Amino acid sequence: MKLKKVLCIAMTAAVTAVSMAGCGSGGDQPAGTNEGADTAQEGESDGGSESDAAAGGTFKIGGIGPLTGGAAVYGIAVKNGAELAVKEINEAGGINGAQIEINYQDDEHDAEKAVNAYNTLKDWGAQAILGAVTSAPCVAVGSVSYEDNIFMLTPSGTAVDCVKYDNAFRVCFSDPMQGVESAKYIGEHGLATKVAAIYDSSDVYSTGIYQAFAEEAENQDFEVVAAEAFTSESKSDFSVQLQKAKDAGAELVFLPFYYSEAALVLNQAAGMDFKPVFFGCDGMDGILAVKGFDAALADNLIFLSPFTPTSPDETIQKFVGDYETAYGETPNQFAADAYDGIYAIKAAMEDGNVTPDMSPSDICEALKAAMVNITIDGVTAKNLTWEASGEPSKEPMVVKIANGDYAVVDDDDAAAGGAEAVNNTEAADTADAE
C-alpha cells in the first residue's frame, strides 16, 4: 500500500517535471535560435559586409498593456499606434537595415499580471519594452526591468514612480507636471480668481494631477474655493459637486479626468445653469466623439493636450489618416504616444549603433545613453527630447473647443484667447439671462 503511494507521488513528480521542462525548453527556444542567428551573422561579417549582417537580424520589442477589462481601450490604442509605427519603419527599411518585430502582451491593468506579461516577453527575447500603458502596472514592471537591465519606454504611464529607475523613460507628461502646468496656465493667463476642482479620488491619474494642481495653486494668483471628489463607483451623478462649486462662486472648474465622465459633468452643469470656464487635462481629448453628447456644451472648454487629431501639421495628418485607414477610428493620445515611442526607440537605437545580436542588457546601456541625445519630430510634440531622469521635455499644447471642433491655442495669443473665453462665457450668461 505504502509503496503504491510512493509510486504515485513519484509518477506525479515525473509528469510535472516533464511538463515543466517542456515549458522551460519552450522558453529557451527563441534564445537558441538567436544564438544560431548570431553565429550566422558573425560568419557573414567576417566576410566583410557589415550591412548584410545587420539586415539579417530582427529587433524584438515587447509591448505591455491592458487588452481586456475596463482599461482595454487605452491598451488597444497603444497596441495599434505601436504596430502602425513598426509597419512604417519596416517598410522604410527598418533600423539600420534590421526589421522590428513587436509582441504585445495583455496585463489586464493589474500589477501582478503585468509582471507575468513582462516575464513572457523576456522569455520571448524582448530587447526593449514599450510599456506598460497604465501607471500601477508600469511601476511594477519598472522595478523588475531594472533588475534585468532591460530598456523600458512607457507611452502613457503618468505616475512619478514610473520612471524611477534609470532604464525607464516616458513619452507622456507626468501627473504632477500636468497639474503644475494647468495651475500655471490658469494663473498666468488670469482665467479666473475663484477655481473649483472636481477629481476622481479612486483614480491614480486624477488624484496625481489634482494634488500637484492644489500645491501649485498656492503660488498662483487664484484661490481654490472648492475641491470635490468622486469615486469610480459614483461617476454618473455630479450634481452635488457642481452645486458646491456653484455655491462657492467658482469662475473656473478644473476637471482632471477622462472625457467620458467630463461629458456627463458638462451636461449636468448645463442642466443646472452653471456656466463657468471648464479646464481639463490630456484625458479630455476625445470628448467630441462621445455618442449622444451635444458638442455645443463643450464650447470654450480648454484643456492641455500633447496631441490633437485635427491639427493641420503634416506629420499628424499623415498619422491620423493612416490610423483611420488601418483601424477605422480616430487615434487618441495613447495611440499617438505609442507611435512616438516606437520612433523614439528607433532613433535611440540608431544613435546608439545597436545591432540585433546584442544582449538586452547591452542594448539597454546603449539606449540609456542615446535617449538624451535624440530629438524626435513626433505627433505629440515637435523637438521632443529626453532628460536622463526619464522625463520628456516638451511644451504642452493648449487646446480650446470652438464651434464643435478642437483648435490649438498658440502660446503668443493664449492670453487673449483666455480672456476671450471668459468674455464668451459672460456673453453666454447674459444671453441666457435675456
Partner 1 sequence: MKKLNKTTKSNLITYGMVIVLFVLMQALVSAGQISSLLQGLLVPLCAYIILAVSLNLTVGILGELSLGHAGFMCVGAFTSAFFSKCMAEAIPVSGVRYFLAILIGAACAGICGILIGIPVLRLKGDYLAIVTLAFGEIIKNIVNILFIGRDEAGFHFSTKDTLSLGLSADGEVIVNGPQGITGTPKDSTFAIGVVLILITLFIVLNLIHSRSGRAIMAIRDNRIAAESIGINITKYKLMAFSVSASLAGVAGVIYAHNLATLTAQPKNFGYNMSIMILVFVVLGGIGNIRGSVIAAIVLTLLPELLRGLSDYRMLIYAVVLIVMMLFNWSPKAIAWREQYASKFKRNKKEAA
Give the binding site for partner 1 (CB under 8 A): 2, 5, 9, 12-13, 16-17, 20-21, 23-28, 67-69, 105-106, 108-112, 115-120, 122-123, 135-136, 139-140, 142-144, 159, 161, 164, 201-204, 207-208, 210-211, 214-215, 227, 231
Question: Which of residues 44 and 148 has its CB atom nearest to partner 1 in the complex?
Answer: 148
Which residues are CB-contacts of 175 (< 8 A; sequence separation ≥ 6)? 158, 159, 160, 204, 205, 208, 209, 212
In whole angstroms, what is the distance from residue 319 CA to residue 396 CA? 19
Q: How far is the CB of 23 from partner 1 (least distance, A)?
A: 5
Closest CA to 70 of 203, 175, 195: 203
Question: Which of residues 11 and 427 has its CB atom nearest to partner 1 in the complex?
Answer: 11
In whole angstroms, what is the distance from residue 288 CA to residue 259 CA? 9
In whole angstroms, what is the distance from residue 308 CA to residue 381 CA? 10
Q: How far is the CB of 186 from partner 1 (least distance, A)?
A: 17
Q: How far is the CB of 287 from partner 1 (least distance, A)?
A: 23
Question: Which of residues 84 and 224 has its CB atom nearest to partner 1 in the complex?
Answer: 224
Q: How far is the CB of 5 from partner 1 (least distance, A)?
A: 7
Question: Which of residues 226 and 374 has its CB atom nearest to partner 1 in the complex?
Answer: 226
Q: Do 59 and 349 form a contact (C-beta atoms < 8 A)?
A: yes
| Residue that the C-alpha cell 442642466 belongs to | 271
Closest CA to 269 of 210, 198, 202, 214: 198
| Residue that the C-alpha cell 561579417 belongs to | 45
Q: Do 212 and 179 form a contact (C-beta atoms < 8 A)?
A: yes
Q: How far is the CB of 26 from partner 1 (least distance, A)?
A: 7
Question: Which of residues 112 and 387 has its CB atom nearest to partner 1 in the complex?
Answer: 112
Q: How far is the CB of 25 from partner 1 (least distance, A)?
A: 7
| Sign of the dihedral defined by the CA atoms of residues 136, 138, 141, 142, in that order | negative
Question: Which of residues 8 and 296 has its CB atom nearest to partner 1 in the complex?
Answer: 8
